[in-house]
Structure 1
Amino acid sequence: MNFSGKYQLQSQENFEPFMKAMGLPEDLIQKGKDIKGVSEIVHEGKKIKLTLTYGSKVIHNEFTLGEECELETMTGEKVKATVKMEGDNKMVTTFKGIKSVTELNGDTITNTMTLGDIVYKRVSKRI
């Protein structure tokens, strides 16, 4: 399955507790909680280019599935990680104790990030 497309955030659960646990300052959490961010994905073979836009903040990540890469997190930190496909519609990675699962179903992408007992879920629709 190909993840290419532009997706806009529709809903999210546990944004504030998750961002606090990641160490994001309270003022940035309050600024970011209501932004309907846009994710743009270019998926060509095993190569993925991901651009996340939240207001004035833009995060660019590029990686090859199954190979170690450097990813920028929402806090701006750079981490080493390996993104793998599970089945044909799910990308999974783990970094700094956070498990991230991104699943594509039709025109909906669901990203679930788990840190300890906090589960942060974002649902985005293709635009």
Structure 2
Amino acid sequence: MATGDFNKTYTYKSSDNVLGFLKARGVPDDLAAQYAAAKPTLELSKKGDQYTIKRVFADGRSHEVSFELGKEFDETRPNGTTIKSVVVAGEGKQLIQTQKGDKEVKIVYDFNGDDVVSTATITGEGVSAKWVFSRNQ
């Protein structure tokens, strides 16, 4: 993974099937609608072996995960539940996060030039959502 993609901020560009994905994960309808309508900023940073991926929402809420590649860590979801996660380097310029909670979710971050495409899929259900972010200049 190229560190040039980190220590950067990316602006929301588009998304697809976020509401369907959140409902399939069991997120209550009112919260699912709120999250699906959100257009977060994506902040990526790296210091030494420590990576941080942070989504910042317009209302001040945020969701942040900090990790070392290949090491399992506890992740606190926005609803307060704690799950196990691990992030590994994928093919080319990818990071792949696997969340193990009530449903296993795989999130692939593809770094494509000035864009980051984040695709989350519920393992075994085939339900996915996609977010596209563009690097701030």
TM-score of the superposition, structure 2-length normalised?
0.83
Q: How many Å separate the matches in 2 of 1:78 and 1:6? A: 26
Matched, 1:8 2:11: yes
Match runs of 1:1-127 below 5 Å: 1-2=2-3, 3-4=5-6, 5-56=8-59, 57-96=61-100, 97-115=104-122, 116-127=125-136
Q: Distance in 1 between matches of 2:84 and 2:28?
A: 23
Structure 2: 5+ residue runs without aligned partners?
none
* SS of equivalent to 1:109: strand
Instruction: Report the CA distance shift for 1:75/1:9 in structure 2 as closer, same or farther (over 3 A).
Output: farther
Deviation at 1:110, TM superposition (A): 0.5
- How well do the aligned residues superpose, as a CA RMSD in angstroms? 1.7
Measure how far apart 1:75 and its partner are.
Answer: 4.1
Q: CA deviation at 1:105?
A: 1.0
In structure 1, runs of 5+ residues without a counterpart are none
- Whole-angstrom distance in 2 between the partners of 1:28 and 1:11: 19
Runs of 4+ in 1 over 6 A off after TM superposition: none
